[in-house]
Amino acid sequence: MVVGDPRRGHPVAVFGNRAAALEKRIYRDSRASGVAFTAACVGAATGIGLAADRLTRSCPVARTAVTAAATWAVLGGTTLAREGAHLSAALESGDLPAARERLPHLCGRDPSRLDAGEIARATVESIAENSSDAVVAPLVWGAVFGVPGLLAYRAINTLDAMVGHRSPRYERFGWASARLDDAANFLPARLTGLLTAALAGTAGGSPGRAAAVLRRDGRRHPSPNSGRCEAAFAGALGVRLGGANDYGGRVEHRPELGDGPRPGVADIRRSVRLARAVSLTAVALAAGALGIASLFGHRPGDR
């Protein structure tokens, strides 16, 4: 939260560039090629984490520094909140062109024909989903497996964003990355939903209502994980999410989640506030879990 992300040279962006270069070399319209691509990229990231873990095992100061650097590299909650704030400010000032220009920083929808309400909905849904992907999930896997877990998860999630789409090019090649991302986010997404419901009061919502919407609508989303996060946010904010999403000519119709009105501009800042509360609570839980484990002599990655 203090340092934020650099505009250029972010480690995740560097990884993405290397993965894109590898894709150009080995791409074939087959699942086997996609499995090899996913294994190579995730294996490389995990290998770097294992090497860092082994090299710093006997030096607590170096281990702390490496863990801090890896955690900073894989968490995206600060950027998520800042993008939400930028979009909210643009819409509050009535600058729809600026909001449309900014939206692709947050999600892959075509903003050219979206009005203020649809941009607000896209922003709230992206903040909900990425509260898990960008914060809770990496913390969970970091708490369990340490630096290798942090880097492996971020590699998996980045590959899903790059090739895990339902498109003619990636229908087969991106299958392995998409399925691996589903598996890696299964537990974190549900934890995110529970934390969101419990912290609904930070956005002026009702924990009971958020939990009810999560329970009722969480499984309606085509994604096995995103629906849990979006349903919990919908219930916590008292809004109705879902609808038609245009991804550059490919339109996907998502089921409605929640019972309230469509999100408005004011709901963006509420969603940012809720996402920050979820993020900080997840940090506290991960640190607490490691603290308890250390009392029994265990470290991340120990059996």
The band of 8, judged by pLDDT with boundaries at 50, 70 and 90, is: confident
**pLDDT band at 134; cut points 50, 70, 90:** very high
Q: Which tokens is 95 given?
A: 């600058």
From the CA atom positions of the chain, what is the Rg in Å?
19
Evaluate whether 155 touches 15 at the Cβ level (below 8 Å).
yes
User: Cα(299)–Cα(303) distance, rounded to whole angstroms?
Assistant: 9
Query: Alpha helices of the chain — where are they, by DSSP H?
Result: 11-26, 31-55, 60-74, 77-92, 96-102, 116-131, 137-163, 175-198, 207-217, 226-237, 265-295
C-alpha 163: how far from chain center: 16
- Higher pLDDT: 299 or 105? It is 105
Q: Kindly report which listed range (71-75, 109-113, 215-219) carries the lowest average pLDDT score.
A: 109-113
- Which is it for the CA torsion 284, 287, 293, 294, positive or negative? negative
The identity of residue 53, as a single letter, is: D
pLDDT digits (tens, 9 = 90+) for 243-259: 888 877 777 788 899 99
- Give CA–CA dist 101/79, Å, rounded: 16
With bands split at pLDDT 50, 70 and 90, how would you rate the model's confidence at 69?
very high
CA distance 173 to 260: 39
pLDDT for the residue 128: 96
Per-residue pLDDT band at 166 (split at 50, 70, 90): confident
Residue type, 107: C
Q: Is the pLDDT of residue 302 over 80?
A: no
**Amino acid making up residue 7:** R
Q: What is the mean pLDDT of residues 138-159?
A: 96
Region of residue 28 (left: phi > 0; alpha: psi -120 to 50; beta: else): beta
Q: Give the model's confidence band at 173: pLDDT under 50 very low, under 70 low, under 90 confident, else very high.
A: very high
The confidence score (pLDDT) of residue 290 equals: 86
The CB-side HSE value for 27 (13 A sphere, CA atoms) comes to 11
| pLDDT tens sequence across 190-206 | 999 999 999 999 999 99
Cα–Cα dist 203/200, whole Å: 6
Q: In the chain, how long is the greatest CA-to-CA distance?
A: 57
Residue 303, pLDDT > 60, answer no
Residue type, 142: G
Q: CA 276, CA 76: separation in Å to the nearest integer? A: 11
The DSSP output letter for 263 is: P
pLDDT at position 261:
94
pLDDT at 177: 96
The sign of the dihedral angle between the CA atoms of 25, 31, 37, 40 is negative
